[in-house]
Amino acid sequence: MTTSKEIHWPEYYHPKNAQLHVRNETLIPAKADAIWSSLTHAPCWPQWGRAQTSVQILNGDGVELHKGSIFRWRARTLHFDCTVVEFIPHERLAWKGKCGDVDMYHAWLIEPTDEGCLILTESTQRGGMTWLTKYITSRNIQSYHRRWLAELKKQPECKKQQKS
């Protein structure tokens, strides 16, 4: 499975300029609006069986991500301060963030297919100790993204539309 669309990488975060790059994709038998709803309701992510994770939207309505949303994402011992930089409903969502000296970029693409939607998620990191920890960290992020995609398939909106 390969999407025909590509991530709109800012030059600074482009994989060619990053020490770490992770790409995952899956097919979800649901409509784009259901997937979008699950992704943009960031404070609900920890309820997806993600122990030791929390998300707090610091501006806007505090419930849903929008272009320019600032949010704090904690995953175990990591704390990222993020800003949504790309927001095209039902198609594209991306944010940039910082955790100490590490800069990261995380993007999602939703591409409708005859079977539902192809979901692509890619992330890059640079700075800090990324050059030293990239092999261990990239495996961990790869695994984290696989679990995230698996949990996305289980979300009520997606499951409800799979039955329609």
For residue 135, the model assigns a pLDDT of: 65
What CATH number labels 18-163?
3.30.530.20
Question: HSE of 158 in the Cβ direction (CA atoms, 13 Å)?
Answer: 23
Do 15 and 9 contact (CB within 8 A), yes or no?
yes
**Burial 42-61, CB ≥16 within 10 A → b, else e:** bebbbeeebeebebebeeee
For residue 4, the model assigns a pLDDT of: 53
**pLDDT tens series, the chain, 164 aa:** 444 578 999 999 999 999 889 999 999 999 999 999 999 988 888 777 665 678 889 998 888 999 999 999 887 777 889 999 999 999 999 999 998 888 999 999 999 999 999 999 999 989 877 766 766 676 777 777 788 888 888 876 544 444 44
Token pair, residue 136, equals: 């261990």
Burial of 111 (0-12, 13-18, 19+ CB in 10 A): middle
* Residue whose entry in the numeric block shows the structure tokens 């122990």: 51
The pTM assigned to this predicted structure is: 0.86
Of the chain, the end-to-end C-alpha distance in Å amounts to 24
Strands across the sheet containing 102-113: 20-28, 116-126, 102-113, 92-99, 78-88, 70-75, 53-57
For residue 50, the model assigns a pLDDT of: 61
The domain segmentation of the chain, as residue ranges, is 18-163
Do 4 and 95 contact (CB within 8 A), yes or no?
no
For residue 7, the model assigns a pLDDT of: 92
- DSSP, collapsed to helix, strand or coil, labels residue 143 as helix
Do 142 and 31 contact (CB within 8 A), yes or no?
no
* Residue whose entry in the numeric block shows the structure tokens 């038998």: 29
